């Protein structure tokens, strides 16, 4: 089995998990469908499924388009408000796709539908948890809740040190680190009080400001419809 971040540019990570000639994409971005198809074809991989760690606000997901085009499942957490999902997952879901086992852990906070996707040696954390100083994703966007995020962070204690944290956003070229490393180097995992977390999140949200693509990306993801005009592609 191989796991690779195949984003062609930008800060939003897309993971390709390949095994036995088949592939799963986690958090693919609509803008890069041609890029993913090229990689799949070059490596003679058949796309078997798509998954989203949460309803994204910063890009249009490729999941509903790839699901329709390839007639493959699109998996998301069972209570997601997003349409276009073909198969819902919960804590009891165990999937085996091309010999790789997938489990799901609900970690609401950044959004209500955030999950950790777990496979052997890797956790795909979306914007629930980043590597190192980047901390975690913001909680001030639609369906975000600080208190729930804090509670979800405590549930990480059930996961071992040696899993690799494959997050939803990292600066290009970032070397991914283990959960054990993050327990020592991610400021959020060293915090002992909710107040500390709240302060960190407030400062971070102020620094980040508004999300430029949200008014196009969020409705597209909720309704599973690609808009006729995508401002960042028509410039």
Binding site for Fe ion (CB under 5 A): 127
CB of 27 to Fe ion, least distance (A): 9
Q: Which is nearer to Fe ion, 18 or 61 (CB)?
A: 61
Residue closer to Fe ion (CB basis): 22 or 145: 145
Least CB distance from residue 112 to Fe ion, whole Å?
12
Residue 23 per-residue DSSP state: E
The string of DSSP codes covering 158-208 is: GS-TTSEEEESB--TTPPP-BHHHHHHH-GGGG---HHHHHHHHHHHHHHH
Return the number of the residue (18 or 55) whose C-beta is nearest Fe ion: 55
Smaller CB separation from Fe ion, 127 or 148:
127
**Residue 76, φ and ψ in degrees, nearest 5:** -150, 170
Helix-helix angle 33-42:63-70, to 10 degrees: 50
Of 113 and 127, nearer to Fe ion (C-beta) is: 127
Complex with Fe ion: residue 122 or 138, whichever CB lies closer = 138
Residue in the block written with tokens 């995508």? 230
Compute the least distance from the CB of residue 75 to Fe ion, in Å: 17
Measured from the CB of residue 149, what is the shortest distance to Fe ion in angstroms?
A: 12
Shortest approach of Fe ion to residue 114 CB, angstroms? 8
Q: Which two tokens stand for residue 173?
A: 């070229």
> 116-120: which pairs have CB atoms within 8 A and are 24 or more residues apart?
116/53, 116/159, 117/26, 117/51, 117/53, 118/159, 118/163, 119/1, 119/3, 119/17, 120/1
C-beta closer to Fe ion: residue 127 or 170:
127
What is the rounded CA–CA span in Å between residue 235 and residue 226? 17
Helices 194-208 + 146-154 axis angle, to 10: 120
Which residue in 174, 22, 4 sits closest to 98, CA to CA? 22
Helix, strand, or coil (residue 134): helix
Closest residue to Fe ion, judged by C-beta, is 127
Q: How far is the CB of 158 from Fe ion (least distance, A)?
A: 23
Q: How far is the CB of 59 from Fe ion (least distance, A)?
A: 9
């Amino acid at each position: 089995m191989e796991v690779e971040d195949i984003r062609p540019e930008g800060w939003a990570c897309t993971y390709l998990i390949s095994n036995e000639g088949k592939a799963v994409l986690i958090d693919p971005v609509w803008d890069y469908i041609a890029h993913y198809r090229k990689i799949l074809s070059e490596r003679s991989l058949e796309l078997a499924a798509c998954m989203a760690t949460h309803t994204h606000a910063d890009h249009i997901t490729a999941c509903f388009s790839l699901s329709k085009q390839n007639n493959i499942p699109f998996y998301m957490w069972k209570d997601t408000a997003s349409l276009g999902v073909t198969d819902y997952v919960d804590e009891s879901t165990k999937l085996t796709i091309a010999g790789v086992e997938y489990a799901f852990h609900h970690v609401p906070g950044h959004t209500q539908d955030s999950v950790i996707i777990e496979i052997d040696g890797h956790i795909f954390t979306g914007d629930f948890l980043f590597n190192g100083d980047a901390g975690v994703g913001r909680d001030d966007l639609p369906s975000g809740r600080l208190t729930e995020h804090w509670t979800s962070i405590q549930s990480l204690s059930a996961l071992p040190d040696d899993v690799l944290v494959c997050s939803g956003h990292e600066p290009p070229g970032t070397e991914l680190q283990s959960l054990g490393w993050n327990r020592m180097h991610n400021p959020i995992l060293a915090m002992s009080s909710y107040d500390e977390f709240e302060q960190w999140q407030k400062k971070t949200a102020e620094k980040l400001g508004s999300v430029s693509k949200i008014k196009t990306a969020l409705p597209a993801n909720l309704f599973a419809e690609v808009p006729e005009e995508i401002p960042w592609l028509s410039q």
